[in-house]
Amino acid sequence: MIDTRRLRTLRAVADHGTVTAAAAALHLTPSAVSQQLGALEHEVGHRLFTRDGRGVHLTAVGKIMLGHANEVLAQLERAEAEVAAYANGAAGEVTVACFATAISAVLSPAMAALSVTKPGLRVRVLDAEGDQGLKMLLDELADLTIAVEYRGAPDATDRRITRRPLYAEPFDLVLPPGRDEPVDLPALAEETWIGPYPGNPVHDVITFACEQAGFTPRFAHSSDDFRAVVALVGAGAGVALVPRRALRDMALPGVTIQQVSGPERRVFAAVRRGAETHPLLKPLLDALSAAS
């Protein structure tokens, strides 16, 4: 019989691409991960991975097993949810990985509402910028994540997670002081740009929007803190696209804010597939939908 713990290890290695990274995510040693993979290959009777330098790649049989692993682990999540519902699991803690703007925009209002309707539900918040929230969810470091669409993100067909759309947020163009003339994105092809680091989904949205306008933005300054981005624009260091919610209640040092058509970040909540009916997670998902 196949050990489900080894299926989790299989998925972690497939997600992270190396034994060392998977071991860190699973809080195991690399040798323990290798042993579990070896034991799983012995149980299956086939090679599941091939090594390429420091990384590993799934074989054809490995891909088959990964598909089944996702289904089995999702079914275990459903089992836990049903047992918790049967036991009337109205009290307990949920860990949420969420980026800063969404913490203030939707998570905090949802938590305030739940403190009245579900007083036994405790929410532990982890600030997770960029694409870290989804990784934390799949590594079981978080029970729910609020994340942003980006190229390469797990889509709606991904068998590991269940997603719920929350909101779509437009970006505004932030120009240095004195730049009051209306402009569109193509006119900014030769400008110096300020934005988040590569790996942050917002960087991906900005880059894609500029590519759609016919150019690749030249990022000279990088920060994942939108206040820092706006401050740099105010100092005349360049131009930026910033999500509209991030500009709310922010000191704007003489910069010009203009609406621009096209770029937006689409925000969604996600749980591991099968956990969406858990009596602690479902009320939180519903509260997030209401808050958004």
- 246-285 per-residue burial string, b: 16 or more CB within 10 A, e: under 16: bbeeeeeeebbeeebeebbbbbbbbbbbbbbbbbbbebbb
Q: How far, in Å, CA of 272 to CA of 135, rounded?
A: 11
Contact between 164 and 289 under an 8 Å Cβ cutoff? The reply is yes
Helix H or strand E segment including 210: helix 201-212
Q: What is the pLDDT of residues 45-67, one digit of tens each?
A: 888 888 877 778 888 888 888 88
Contact between 289 and 281 under an 8 Å Cβ cutoff? The reply is no
Q: How far, in Å, CA of 85 to CA of 63, rounded?
A: 33
Q: How many residues does the chain have?
A: 292
Q: How far, in Å, CA of 266 to CA of 276, rounded?
A: 20
Nearest to 50 by CA among 42, 64, 60: 60
Angle at 256 between CA 130 and CA 217, to 5 degrees: 45
pLDDT at residue number 193:
97
Beta bridge partners of 164: 269
pLDDT at residue number 96:
97
Q: Which domains does the chain have, with CATH numbers?
A: 4-82 (1.10.10.10), 90-167+267-291 (3.40.190.10), 168-264 (3.40.190.10)
Q: What is the pLDDT of residues 99-118, one digit of tens each?
A: 988 998 899 999 999 999 98
pLDDT at residue number 103:
93
Q: Collapsing DSSP states into helix, strand and coil, what is residue 154?
A: coil
Nearest to 131 by CA among 215, 74, 199: 199
Contact between 273 and 70 under an 8 Å Cβ cutoff? The reply is yes
Residue type, 176: P
Secondary structure E strands in the chain: 49-52, 55-58, 92-98, 121-127, 144-148, 161-175, 192-195, 218-222, 240-243, 256-272
Rg (CA), the chain: 22
Enumerate residue ranges in the chain where pLDDT < 50: none
pLDDT at residue number 40:
82
Token pair of 289 as six digits: 């939908």
pTM above threshold 0.95: no
Q: How far, in Å, CA of 272 to CA of 270, rounded?
A: 7
